[in-house]
Structure 1
């Protein structure tokens, strides 16, 4: 599944950096860019993106006005704000009108990566036809809380990165069955030995559970699945 992204940012240099950041995250592609809010709205009508990355400080029509206009027109698109605007009123207004996340400039790639992975998890869970039960909806909220629950960085083994760990957890949350370290590595795009180190640590931390499968010739296979509880 590819997520189509429209990037609305008036600074050409920042726009290019953001575009490169977005396309570094597996599953996302930028299908259009706009330098003004008005241009972005017109482009959204045409390309129908899944997600808009929206700046606030722009000439003519700022990000707040752009988001309000998108909602008034009924354009069905999710929005993540990426902006230098850090005043409470702007943040409150953007979130009130449905911004799914709010990232304050300057920011590191890992913060945007986290926002995109969280969006992918949400979209994969909520998309499609049919109905959701209360149990399924509660499980989605519980899973997001569990993923966002901080890990004690002070006791993390040397060489492990907190954002990579969250990326692994977000990927595993999308899976319907347990994964081997090799399958996780291939899905995320990291080395298998690296995936195994993270999974072993997450298992010891209670974030994932280990299922040892026997059968056939050779060593038993370790498979991992996310612990679907916010109580750990």
Structure 2
């Protein structure tokens, strides 16, 4: 498996150096950029397209949460590990809903940092590079989703697995209507699950334009 590219967002130079030194000790990861403010981070992340972003919550211009929301809104396909001193339950819950794969509370030791990255690499390996997925592959991937983002009210694990299985079986980008026919569900139900997966950067949305009317959304696994 190729190295996982990493981008670090941290406004404290000392903490930034610590995070970089921690990262260097773990094989399989490569730092490709860093930023000390949200706007610079945003532009560089779009340009460099890292696989993983280590994101601090408190930045001088906008919060890490605001940056994460912006990245998710634009469907930028990255995974995020939050690094922050914030401990309040509301903030942590919001970050989980936005699909952060882990949450490191400052100050943390190397062993916890290492666990976060190794767990991420293991979960990523469950899906990246597979031409098709067995049920156990999907179950493992679902576990990584549930570990990073709580399913919203109205969504459940069983239906999520059916939607993912349908995406794998079709092996190409599909509309919500096409996938609904594949899995035997209502189109509106399937769309809810697809949009959730897109919001946490597990599914990519492509807009295809016809001769008239609105563009059609096509969904595919990242």
TM-score interval for Structure 1 and Structure 2 normalised by the shorter chain: 0.5 to 0.7
Q: Deviation at 1:131?
A: 3.1
State the distance in 2 between where 1:22 and 1:66 align: 22
Structure 2 portions without partners, runs of 5+: 145-222
Query: What SS does the corresponding residue of 1:79 show, helix, strand or coil?
Result: strand
State the distance in 1 between where 2:31 and 2:115 align: 17
Aligned residue runs from structure 1 range 103-182, under 5 A: 103-139=104-140
Report the equivalent of 1:37: 38
Whether 1:6 aligns to 2:7 is yes
Deviation digits for residues 49-95 of structure 1, max 9, x if unmatched? 01000000112111100100000111100000011111111111111
Q: Does structure 1 conserve the Cα–Cα contact (< 8 Å) formed by 2:126 and 2:137?
A: no
Q: Which of structures 1 and 2 has the larger relative contact order (alpha carbons within 8 angstroms, sep 6+)?
A: 2
Deviation digits for residues 17-42 of structure 1, max 9, x if unmatched? 10110111111111100001111111
Q: Does structure 1 conserve the Cα–Cα contact (< 8 Å) formed by 2:81 and 2:102?
A: yes
Distance 1:74 1:25, change over 3 A: same
Report the equivalent of 1:23: 24
Report the equivalent of 1:60: 61
Report the equivalent of 2:49: 48
State the distance in 2 between where 1:74 and 1:133 align: 27
TM-score, length-normalised on structure 1?
0.59
Q: When the two structures are aligned, how many residues end up with a matched partner?
A: 145
Query: What SS does the corresponding residue of 1:71 show, helix, strand or coil?
Result: helix
Distance 1:19 1:90, change over 3 A: same
Q: Deviation at 1:120?
A: 0.7
State the distance in 1 between where 2:74 and 2:142 align: 29
Q: Deviation at 1:138?
A: 2.5
Whether 1:102 aligns to 2:96 is no
Report the equivalent of 1:81: 82
State the distance in 2 between where 1:36 and 1:116 align: 23
State the distance in 2 between where 1:7 and 1:140 align: 25
Of residues 30-39 and 121-130 in structure 1, the stretch that sits farther from structure 2 once superposed is 121-130
Provide the aligned C-alpha RMSD in A.
Answer: 2.1
State the distance in 2 between where 1:22 and 1:107 align: 14
Task: Tell which structure's C-alpha radius of gyration is larger.
Answer: 1
Deviation digits for residues 80-122 of structure 1, max 9, x if unmatched? 0011111111111111101000010000000010010001101
Report the equivalent of 2:94: 93
Query: What SS does the corresponding residue of 2:101 show, helix, strand or coil?
Result: strand
Q: Deviation at 1:142?
A: 7.6
State the distance in 2 between where 1:63 and 1:79 align: 10
